[in-house]
Amino acid sequence: MITDFRRYEFKYILTLPQADALRAELAAHMDIDPYSGPKGYWINSLYYDSPDLEFFWAKIDGLRFRRKLRLRRYESADPALPLPESARTVAVEIKQRVEQIVEKRRVFLNTRQAAQLCQGASVPAMDRQGQAVANEIVHLVQDKQLAPTCWVRYHRHALVGRAENPDLRITFDTELSSGIGRLDPEQPLPDMDYFLPPDRCILEVKVTNTMPLWVQHILQRHQCQLQRISKYCTSIAQQKNIAVLERDLPPAC
């Protein structure tokens, strides 16, 4: 699995009928992500932040350089199709944005090691690149006094580009929920609340360079409107009753 990359990400909020129609059309030009399968998969992310929510406010304030730390684990949506072994480990990831470019650096560990790393304890990684990321995470946790802040959970369908668009990835995220209880990666998830209505989907188009024109045309045809939304920030604003975000959602179906 890729541990270090840079790309552009474009987000849209859709109704479920919009998402279904768009995914059907895109599927004619793209392939199903081998990790996704026909039924998709679940993503559970535990976000870390400083005592004064520095990462949250950096996004709200629109800082050109901002970052966040999260621990992420994956779950198959189809019991008959378990995830590959490489996807059963836990990813600890630094995600940062520099201007319009999203950068990610991550290391894959077992759950116990991932929890220790996010507490600021050094752990052995599988290779030199992973160890460099692990060391960076330890420094970040200790420097910012990071602690677990919020779980975010959603179901994902993913499509990947074919030979002519190898860097293209498009994801459809639904059942978007969050919780702030039991913030321990070794324990079951807490009770979760929707932070977007269940009839909404977040679409993300991810490319290394320019979005292909044919993708732009399909998005325009389906009346997709670019949105600036952070799953983490929307969750925190709701869970902690911080009135800073305005949601410009499509009308309910």
β-bridge pairing 31-32 and 4-15: unpaired
For residue 228, CA distances in Å to 65, 79, 107 come to 15, 34, 27
Q: Region 98-125: what's the mean pLDDT?
A: 92
Q: Say how far residue 85 (Cα) sits from the centre of its chain.
A: 20
Q: Region 53-77: what's the mean pLDDT?
A: 93
- 105-36-82-184 Cα dihedral, nearest 10 degrees: 40
| pLDDT > 70 in the chain, percent | 92
Q: Decide: pTM greater than 0.85.
A: yes
Tell me, what's the pLDDT at 251? Answer: 42
Say if residue 83's pLDDT is above 90. no
What does the DSSP 8-state code read for residue 87? G
Backbone φ/ψ region at 53: left (φ over 0), alpha (ψ -120 to 50), beta:
left
Say if residue 250's pLDDT is above 90. no
Tell me, what's the pLDDT at 4? Answer: 65
Tell me, what's the pLDDT at 3? Answer: 62
3-state secondary structure 135-150: HHHHHHHHHHCCEEEE
pLDDT tens digits, one per residue of 167-220: 999 999 999 999 999 999 999 999 999 999 999 999 999 999 999 999 999 999
More confident residue, 20 or 85: 20
Residue with tokens 């949105």: 227
**Partners of 93 in beta bridges:** 70, 106
Beta strands in the chain (DSSP E): 4-15, 31-32, 41-49, 65-76, 90-98, 101-109, 147-160, 169-179, 193-194, 200-207, 226-227
Tell me, what's the pLDDT at 89? Answer: 84
